[in-house]
Structure 1
Amino acid sequence: MVQTVRIEAVAREHAGKGAARATRRSGLVPGVVYGAKQEATLVSLDPRDVMKELTKGGWQSHLYEVAVKDGPTERTIMRDVQFDPVTDRPIHVDFQRVAPGARIRVRVPVTFLHEDTSPGIKAGGVLNVVRREVEVMAEIDKVPDSFQIDLAAAKVGESLRWSAIKDNFGARPVIVGRDFVVATVAAPTTDESLTPVVAAPVADPKAKGKGGKAAPAKAAPAAAAKPAAPAKKK
């Protein structure tokens, strides 16, 4: 089920780009906690705590308790992270407050079981993942770490759809009205361009050999060398 991670924060007093730049110059990452019809709370975070969560993966399906120093502990999800285009480090984090029992829109990663024993893959098929994550509406306390699809019986050419997920934990996909494809087991491909092509000899249709059969084509005779011009008398 959904993981709950505690992350420490310090309240910020001022909003705006200038205040955010000042926070980053001090070695912290600016952030904001919003939602649930409450006033937004400006916070500063330790960049090591942020990077730790980002490198773990699946952070968009985790529940975060943002513990503000000398302030409240907010129950949130990490909704968005902005990165520096040069250093690729986080420069701003958005947290959205959630209430118990509320449904939230999250992306849940998909994992595949028994890939090594799948008859389709053992026969040379290739697992083609169409959706590595599925966006769903789920209760905050029931968001899974991942959806699982079992490949134990998957054959070449088979499509694994939303209905193939072992347990959706009551989540409803954002895509409605169809059993959409999550992955397929594609047939192995061959590269025909690597097959050498041998040209057949071309026979002269006018020439006939013994028995009336067309004789094989002959190479054109080499052009005769022209005689050298006589030397002029002095």
Structure 2
Amino acid sequence: MQQQWWRIGGERLRKAAEYYRKFHTIQAIPREISGPRISARDRAQGRIPAVVFSPTAENTSKQLLTTETKQIDSILTKLDPTFFCSTTFKLQVRAGSGSSVLLHSGNVLPIKLARNEETGKVMNMVFVWAEEGSKLEVDLPVVFKGVDSRPGLKKGGQLKTVRKNLKYLCPTECIPQKIEVDISNLDIGDRVFMKDIEVDSSLKLLSGNDTKPICKIVASEVENSVPLET
């Protein structure tokens, strides 16, 4: 099989990260205590309980916050929720709702978004500070491109996904929202391995065995085949 390359430009990553930090600044206010009743009260007032952790082992502090439900819903409407936890945002902590007093400002990376299983409403969120110069472990979604163009399609082949996410150690200033894999030239029996994916040199794949496949083209329809964006 002809060698394939999948590349992500470091400059493009930095520009994309800067775009979301600039136009999607999350506003938050402190909360002193937590608990089911307090959280329920916050949600009834149109706010989402949240917490921000420090990423360093030396500093294990956390900050309790609440964010505006309308703002988070607006962000999730404009941004594919699949990429929410691989996108950095600017976070501004105000003294209170509607206050002009800024207590703290910095970049954060969402690491958890919990929803109500029945309603789909966001129940709580977890962030980690993502200041420039530091590195974070990030689960990056894998997105397959060129699905309808692959030679194996005409032969009845199906795409079987093995990994939907790949974990990388990323500099906070150039965290990619996703890993794009072009499978337009794959035929039946072809596979894409972790080691085949070339990303920006600043990213480090956190896997003990990069010879494992992330997808393959099989001859017949299988249970794990899924429709993918083109």
Structure 1-normalised TM-score? 0.72
CA displacement 1:66-122 (0-9 Å, x = unmatched): 111222113211111222344231121111112322221111112223222211223
Q: 1:32 aligns with which of 42, 45, 51?
A: 51
Alignment root-mean-square deviation, CA: 2.3
Q: Helix, strand or coil for the counterpart of 1:107?
A: strand
Contact 1:29–1:46 (Cα < 8 Å) also in 2: yes
Matches within 5 A, 1:1-234: 1=13, 3=17, 4=21, 5-36=24-55, 37=59, 39-55=61-77, 56-57=80-81, 58-69=83-94, 70=101, 71-188=103-220
2:152 and 2:51 map into 1 onto residues whose CA distance is: 48
Q: Is the 8 A contact 2:108 2:127 kept in 1?
A: yes
Q: 1:185 to 1:87 in 2, by over 3 A?
A: same
| 148-157 or 48-57: bigger deviation | 48-57
**In 2, Cα distance between the equivalents of 1:24 and 1:104?**
30
Partner Cα distance (2:71, 2:196) in 1? 36
CA contact (8 A) 1:75 1:98 kept: yes
Same amino acid, percent of matched pairs? 19
Give the TM-score normalised by the residue count of structure 2: 0.73
Query: Gaps spanning 5+ residues in structure 2: where?
Result: 1-12, 95-100, 223-230
What whole-Å deviation, never above 9, does each CA across 1:135-172 have from its counterpart, x for those lacking one? Answer: 22211112112212222321111111112324355322
Give the Cα–Cα distance (whole angstroms) in 2 for the partners of residues 28 and 189 of structure 1.
45
Structure 1 or 2: more helix by fraction = 2
Q: Structure 2: how far apart are the matches of 1:141 and 1:32?
A: 21
Which segments of 5 or more consecutive residues in structure 1 lack a partner in the other structure? 191-234
Cα deviation for residue 130 of structure 1 reads 1.4
Alignment length (residue pairs): 190
Residue 226 of structure 1 is matched in structure 2 by: none
